Structure 1
Amino acid sequence: MSTVTGRWTAEVRGAPDAGVRLFCCAHAGGGPAGFRSWQREFGQDVDIRPVLLPGRESRSREQPLRRMADIVGPLCDGLLPLLDRPYALFGHSLGAALAYEVARELAARGWGEPRHLFVSARRAPHLPSRRARLHDLPHDRFTAAVARMGGTPPEVLSHPELLNAFTPCLRADFEVNETYTPLPGGLLGCDVSAVVGRLDPEVEADEMAAWRDTTRGGFGLRVVDGDHFYLKETPGDLFALFRDGLDLPARTRTPVPHPPTHRTHSHSPTPLPEPTS
């Protein structure tokens, strides 16, 4: 199968009659598996559609792509049949940059902007990286650096054969992230919400606040408990943010407490959290 064909969202037991679809883009090395349980949270309110890139899950035999520009166009082509209703985009870490570029490309094609863009745990696209490149390191150094970052399942790290099979896709994703600069295009017009873990060692709150410069619409920043992978352990704050941003009814079974979102215009200063020790 070609690297630029195939199904671009994973099969899930979704909500085909929901009023809005949420396309979810994972972190480097991640895939749809991390989003499949989300449908239970939203029931019939949102149709959750995890993005499926070449090199993982049912597309594991395809070569992973190594440049953002090579992903965005084919992914937008693949999403077109699903743009028959309002949609939103969510991206975590590398996925935040991908979701942003997909939103811009869909708008540029005249296919409509998302109702909302949610970005998580990645500095704004116009800010330079503060971390040394990892994707071209020798195997042992690369896997050791990835292990220190967390996010890779222990069962993968502890089994050399599984790790060797997983590494090409992971390395390609790091290459996408580390070579990425914003693609040609203008400002978004939709609202953007940025989320970061209070203890995230990879990105600081002011770097997330800089996402305000990507849109003419409204902007909000939320700082939540947790580290770079806060959403794996305590996604409740994130789910509450989705409901706020998409104007959905509050979940009635177990209310999810969360700190207030600071909403500003895209060019207004955004309140930042108090520094933590």
Structure 2
Amino acid sequence: MNAPAIDARKWMPYPSAGGAPTTLYCLPHAGAGASTYLPWRKELQPDVDVVPLQPPGREMRMRDEPFENLTPLLNDLLAAMDGVWQEPFALFGHSLGALVAFELARRLSAGEGPRPAHLIVSGRRAPQHPSRLPWIRMADDPMLLEIVRRLGGTPDEILDDEQMRQTVLTLMRADLGVDQTYRYRPDPPLDVPITVLSGSTDSHVTMAELEPWAECGSAGVDIRLVPGGHFFVVTQRETVLRRVRHCLVGSP
């Protein structure tokens, strides 16, 4: 008996609106969900159709077990999206989402689906550099809570609520585990244009850690600094969206 097909709607809770000349599939940072990109949908229409992708373990997929390793996460995503990709399309990911988008682009370009027209990675050191965080799987909850607070992006009122805090820590332990168990493999560079965005004051990503992105693509790698820290995608959203629109449709 064949295994049941993975429902693409789980990964795409906010499906394509259609009508735009290009589609942008977006992957969230650690601990976040697809709704992070909902404001982008209205702001990038009619030029770009934003389709947020939803990994398990968050928002409407709260009951689904989150992945702790990248390979099964990608296997699940690729199986769900088989025959569903709306071309032409680009990939965007912030922080952990940038790593997922990069390896997704690699597998699509290797023949596991249609090749993306552009890859935009944000707030992430080059994949050649391993995580600088303490080993998450050995951290107790107080240590993990300290790490999550230091990373930012999670409101204090959530972390101060006992029940919500435990939910966040469970998800962050899995998501950060995806990052820390990842091992870069030196495959041929992607034949896809790559844009790298990074916060100018991001303490989690140094310029030295950004530079090896240049080795990851053979069709041009453009590294751009944006004012702000790690979550410049929130504080400088208009600037980021202008850059995204320029990458995909060439408008200023």
Under a length normalisation based on structure 2, what TM-score does the superposition of the two structures give?
A: 0.91
Trace 1:246-257 onto structure 2 (pairs within 5 A): 246-250=248-252
User: How much does 1:136 deviate?
Assistant: 2.8
Mean Cα deviation higher: 56-65 or 182-191: 182-191
User: How much does 1:184 deviate?
Assistant: 7.5
The whole-number CA distance in structure 2 between the counterparts of 1:236 and 1:67 is 33
- Check conservation: 2:56, 2:64, Cα contact below 8 A: yes
- Check conservation: 1:121, 1:208, Cα contact below 8 A: no
User: How much does 1:8 deviate?
Assistant: 4.4
Trace 1:235-254 onto structure 2 (pairs within 5 A): 235-250=237-252
Trace 1:42-57 onto structure 2 (pairs within 5 A): 42-57=44-59
The whole-number CA distance in structure 2 between the counterparts of 1:101 and 1:83 is 16
**DSSP 3-state at the match of 2:116:** coil
Give 2:207's match in structure 1, choosing from 205, 208, 233.
205
Tell me the amino acid that sits aligned with residue 81 of structure 1: G
- Check conservation: 1:135, 1:142, Cα contact below 8 A: no
- Check conservation: 1:197, 1:223, Cα contact below 8 A: yes
Matched, 1:164 2:166: yes
Partner of 1:220: 222
Under a length normalisation based on structure 1, what TM-score does the superposition of the two structures give?
A: 0.84
- Check conservation: 1:199, 1:225, Cα contact below 8 A: yes
Partner of 1:35: 37
**DSSP 3-state at the match of 2:101:** helix
Tell me the amino acid that sits aligned with residue 52 of structure 1: Q
Partner of 1:97: 99
- Check conservation: 1:73, 1:105, Cα contact below 8 A: no
Poorly superposed stretches of 4+, deviation over 4 Å: none
The whole-number CA distance in structure 1 between the counterparts of 2:96 and 2:27 is 8
Partner of 2:18: 16
**DSSP 3-state at the match of 1:82:** coil
132 and 141 in structure 1: CA distance in 2 versus 1, 3 angstrom threshold: closer
Mean Cα deviation higher: 8-17 or 75-84: 8-17
- Which runs of 5 or more residues in structure 1 are unaligned? 251-277
RMSD: 1.9
Partner of 2:73: 71
User: How much does 1:246 deviate?
Assistant: 1.0
Which structure is higher in RCO with an 8 Å CA cutoff and minimum separation 6?
Answer: 2
Partner of 1:263: none
135 and 232 in structure 1: CA distance in 2 versus 1, 3 angstrom threshold: farther
- Check conservation: 1:90, 1:99, Cα contact below 8 A: yes
Q: How far does the alpha carbon of each residue in 1:62-103 deviate from its partner, in whole angstroms, 9 at most, with x for none?
A: 111100011112112222333231110011111111000111
Higher-helix-fraction structure: 2
The whole-number CA distance in structure 2 between the counterparts of 1:220 and 1:184 is 20
Q: Percent sequence identity over matched residues?
A: 32
The whole-number CA distance in structure 2 between the counterparts of 1:158 and 1:217 is 46
Matched, 1:230 2:232: yes
User: How much does 1:110 deviate?
Assistant: 5.2
- Check conservation: 1:27, 1:93, Cα contact below 8 A: yes
The whole-number CA distance in structure 2 between the counterparts of 1:238 and 1:178 is 27
Give 1:181's match in structure 2, choosing from 180, 183, 187.
183
Q: How far does the alpha carbon of each residue in 1:217-242 deviate from its partner, in whole angstroms, 9 at most, with x for none?
A: 11101101110011112112211211
- Check conservation: 1:197, 1:228, Cα contact below 8 A: yes
**DSSP 3-state at the match of 1:83:** coil
Partner of 2:136: 134
